[in-house]
């Protein structure tokens, strides 16, 4: 009986723990493909648990987006386009932290995506990958996953 | 008894099928108002099924947005503004597919919207329409709808 | 018995009412921090009610975003960057309403955010605040909150 309780609590903790993970970005502006980590977290989850997967990052200078990563240049182009639109070093917040451009980019892309979910699988399109866009790295970043 | 089972399976399949539809964009950059199709899919759904509607497109060169369509020029202006900010033909991915600008625009707008839902009705504001923004058409595009 | 019914209806109405509130923006382009109002709405809600909080605005010229507000200049920088990218007064819709830039900005930021929720608390990061971005104020704006 005690063993059963401990086992249940352990499984519960593992499940809770599993729904969050960290990655490390390697440079100031970077992209990290987190599709496989999220697939592993949600595989085996039943329909009763929900119909969509929320992917969320609790930071203000990185963001979550969905796009192609078969050609890695797509994501490099996205970083370059954001840099063109939002040049660094000309903002009020730069006096304090010198990363205002990163905050602005993160606000435009947003901290979350919501993906339809069925039979333990996200309904990602053939070319869709889930990407963390880093705008003020290198940093350790947390990603929270919930089934809604 | 068998008839009942068949009927239930049929209704189940119809419901599943209904929560997804396709539309066709007509030119490279285009907007398609999908509000009415989504209203028809969710009308009659009960409160027990959820409190929000997820609208998702599984593609990487189109996106889902919410804005006014009473004056169709609003959406034309949105396409024009994105074109100004993200000119075509100057990106790394263009060597492979010549549509990098479409990928960048889709990442900035995002593939999904989530709308509060009550009594079988989305709580869209008076001027809010749900719009597919096409950036690399003309193409057939799938839209997935889930009640969360 | 009648008293009980009235009490239940009253509590129901209070709950419904509570999940929506209005704020007032003070100028054409403005930011309003709505984090505290939303925290008060969701505090005490049980895990059974859901695993995420949807924050939604039913308007087409304002938007909901998440970013730092410890240094208020971050949000001022976001407004300035959007103004740089999307200048006012050069769009088709301006002939009718003279606020096309506001519609475009609202489409890019989006009308909603979805935040993970656990034990009556949103899992906002240390520096994350929920912000209404106003692009065509001053106006009264409605914010709808749902637990998914």
Select from A15, A50, A12, A21 the least CA-distant residue to A144. A21
Closest residue in A to C76 (Cα) is A92
Q: Residue A53: what are its φ and ψ, rounded to 5°?
A: -110, 125
Of B71, B85, B148, nearest to C148 by CB-CB distance is: B148
Q: Measured between alpha carbons, how far is A103 from A99 in angstroms, rounded to an integer?
A: 7
Q: Measured between alpha carbons, how far is B35 from B119 in angstroms, rounded to an integer?
A: 17
Structural domain including A101 reads 2-147
The pLDDT value recorded for residue B146 is 96
Cβ pair A65:B107 closer than 8 A: yes
| Residue ranges of chain C with per-residue pLDDT less than 50 | none
Select from C124, A31, A53 the least CA-distant residue to B107. A31
Cβ pair B108:A110 closer than 8 A: no
Taking only the tens place, the pLDDT of each residue in B73-100 is: 999 999 999 999 999 999 999 999 999 9
Strand blocks (E) in A18-97:
20-24, 30-33, 52-56, 62-67
The pLDDT value recorded for residue B14 is 55
Residue with tokens 């609790």: A58
Closest residue in B to A125 (Cα) is B58
The CATH number of whichever domain residue C66 belongs to comes to 2.60.120.460
DSSP code for A94: G
C111 CB near a chain B CB, below 8 Å?
A: yes
Share of chain B above pLDDT 90, in %: 83
Share of chain B above pLDDT 70, in %: 91
Proportion of chain A in helix, strand, coil states, percent, rounded to 5: 35, 30, 35
Q: Averaged in consecutive runs of 10 residues, what is the pLDDT profile of chain B (148 residues)?
A: 70 64 98 97 89 98 97 97 97 97 98 95 97 98 97
Q: Measured between alpha carbons, how far is C122 from A106 in angstroms, rounded to an integer?
A: 19
Closest residue in C to A84 (Cα) is C85
Taking only the tens place, the pLDDT of each residue in C101-130 is: 999 999 999 999 999 999 889 999 999 999
Cβ pair B81:C92 closer than 8 A: no
Size of interface B-C (CB pairs under 8 A): 88
Give the burial string for A40-64 (b: 16+ CB within 10 Å, else e): ebbeebeeeebbbbbbbbbbbbbbb
Cβ pair A73:B50 closer than 8 A: no
The pLDDT value recorded for residue C137 is 98
The pLDDT value recorded for residue B71 is 97
Cβ pair C60:B76 closer than 8 A: no
Cβ pair C58:B128 closer than 8 A: yes
Q: Residue C20: what are its φ and ψ, rounded to 5°?
A: -150, 140
| Residue ranges of chain A with per-residue pLDDT less than 70 | 6, 8-18
Strand blocks (E) in C57-111:
62-67
Residue B30 — left, alpha, or beta (φ > 0 → left; ψ -120 to 50 → alpha)? Answer: beta
- Identify whether the C-beta of residue A145 lies closer than 8 Å to the C-beta of residue A62: no
The pLDDT value recorded for residue B111 is 98
pTM: 0.90
Residues of C in contact with A100 (CB under 8 A): 73-74, 77
Mutate to test the interface with C, among A20, A41, A60, A61 (most CBs of C within 10 A): A60
Split into its structural domains, chain C has a count of 1
B18: tokens are: 């209904």
The pLDDT value recorded for residue A98 is 95
Q: Measured between alpha carbons, how far is B104 from A109 in angstroms, rounded to an integer?
A: 11
Q: Measured between alpha carbons, how far is B4 from B12 in angstroms, rounded to an integer?
A: 12
- Identify whether the C-beta of residue A58 lies closer than 8 Å to the C-beta of residue A141: no
Tell me what ipTM this predicted complex has: 0.89
Residue with tokens 């009253």: C10
Alpha-carbon distances of A61 from A20, A55, A104, A139, rounded to whole Å = 19, 16, 8, 10
């Amino acid at each position: 009986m005690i063993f059963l309780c401990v086992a249940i609590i352990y499984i519960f903790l593992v499940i809770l723990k599993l729904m969050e993970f960290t990655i490390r970005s390697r440079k100031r502006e970077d992209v990290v493909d987190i599709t496989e980590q999220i697939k592993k977290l949600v595989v085996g989850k039943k329909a009763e648990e929900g119909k969509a997967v929320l992917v969320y990052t609790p930071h203000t200078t990185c963001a979550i987006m969905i796009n192609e990563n078969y050609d890695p240049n797509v994501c490099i182009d996205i970083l370059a386009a954001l840099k063109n639109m939002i040049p660094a070093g000309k903002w009020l917040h730069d006096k304090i932290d010198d990363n205002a451009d990163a905050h602005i980019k993160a606000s435009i892309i947003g901290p979350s995506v919501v993906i339809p979910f069925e039979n333990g699988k996200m309904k990602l399109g053939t070319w869709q990958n889930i990407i963390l866009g880093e705008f003020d790295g290198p940093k350790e970043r947390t990603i929270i996953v919930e089934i809604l």
